[in-house]
Structure 1
Amino acid sequence: MFMPPSLVSRRPFLLDLDRRSAHALQLDGRASFSAIASVLGVSDQTVARRYRKLRSSGVRRVVGVPEAAPLGQVHWLIRLGCVPDAAAPIAAALARRDDTQRVSLMSGGTEIVCFIRAPLRAASCWVSCRRHPGWSR
């Protein structure tokens, strides 16, 4: 894919090191830069510098999310097939819900993928949503 030089210079370049350090933080979100550096075989200054660069550019974000089960909640990954004209309004409605964490349109606008964090008792609500006229059968 062609990218104009002006965009390339503004986008931070992701190194293999960045991906491996992100993986390390996913495994242990409280791992120190020195612990990550020793596992990756680089200096802790290198890990810290790349972390700060990616964080300040918005590529890497730090988000604290409590575990769902102790709170009586579940995580759901939902994939919905929709008729083309209905996908965008349904996705917008899902995005307005408090329990929706992420919504994406896929497959040329005929599928929606969303992540839901809901109370265990919410299952009946989602089952009833299947009756929405815009969802394909």
Structure 2
Amino acid sequence: MIDLSSVLSSTNAEPLYQQIVSALRRRISEGSLAIGTRLPSSRALAQDLGVARSTVVTAYDQLVAEGFAEPRRGAGIFVCDVAPIRPPEAPSRPLPAVTPPAPGMLQPGAPDPEVFPARPWARCVSRVARMDPLS
């Protein structure tokens, strides 16, 4: 069974469920909890830690939502295949300055001003802004 007895700290300002999530997330990321390992049932873990079962259920729900664990109907909650999390490496040299595109060339995230219907769009925005929100 997984030893989580040292997970909770009364001096920590984090909520109890968040302390459980942080400890399990760290162990999964480090690889000390192997892929496919079954996590203790919420009742068993709650009893071991001396917390309410709902606290453990909330922690498990958070781990599932983040992709660190997966529930299997009738079998329990299992550790997912998660790549170790490392901070991104800084580029060894600065990136070259981006030159503005030539006129008429498209740029990601910017509409083509020649094609975008600016006047009809402005009229629609103006009409909606004049409408009474209560009618």
Say yes or no: TM over 0.5. Answer: no
Which structure has the greater CA radius of gyration? 2
Q: Name the structure with the higher helix share.
A: 1
Q: TM-score, normalised by structure 2?
A: 0.30
